[in-house]
Amino acid sequence: MSQLRQRAQEFDSLNVRVLIVTFDALWLARRYLADTPLPWPMLLDPERFLYRNYGMTEASWWTLLNPTAIWKYVKLILRGHFPGRPGSDVQQLGGDVLIDPQGIVRLIHRSLGPHDRPGIDQMFECIRASEIG
């Protein structure tokens, strides 16, 4: 999320609207927003309609707690980035979806684990190539 925030002006310059979607309850979403100020609106999807329709599944406990995942958390902590408080379902995986103004889905990245995100440059390449903005 921090890479997205760092490049918020670039999204604006390309006329791209970013929306954050969570399945957590309103009080958890508010807590997250208080801890992590975002320049974009957050939508609530408590029934996980969008998650299901974009094929975002739940991770196994091994995916969440394997040595590689734990090492990534340790590296983040050593750099001063402490993990946030968990939401209501730590196994639900997320993803990133780019939809152009005509409603055409240009990119779906379904996370395979908690640290799996598309590269920010990949997202901007897709935006520029698709003329989403």
Query: What residue spans define the domains of the chain?
Result: 2-130
Question: Does residue 88 have a pLDDT over 60?
Answer: yes
Q: How far separated are the first and last CA of the chain, in Å rounded?
A: 20
- For every residue of 26-90, DSSP letters joined together read HHHHHHHHHHS--SS-EEE-TT-HHHHHTT--BPPHHHHHSHHHHHHHHHHHHTT-PPPPP-S-T
Tens-place pLDDT, residues 6-57: 888 888 888 888 888 998 889 988 988 888 888 899 999 999 999 999 999 8
Average model confidence (pLDDT) for the chain?
A: 82
* Each residue's pLDDT tens digit, 46-63: 999 999 999 998 877 777
CATH (residue range 2-130): 3.40.30.10
pTM of the model: 0.69
Among 41, 39, 36, which Cα is nearest to 7's?
39
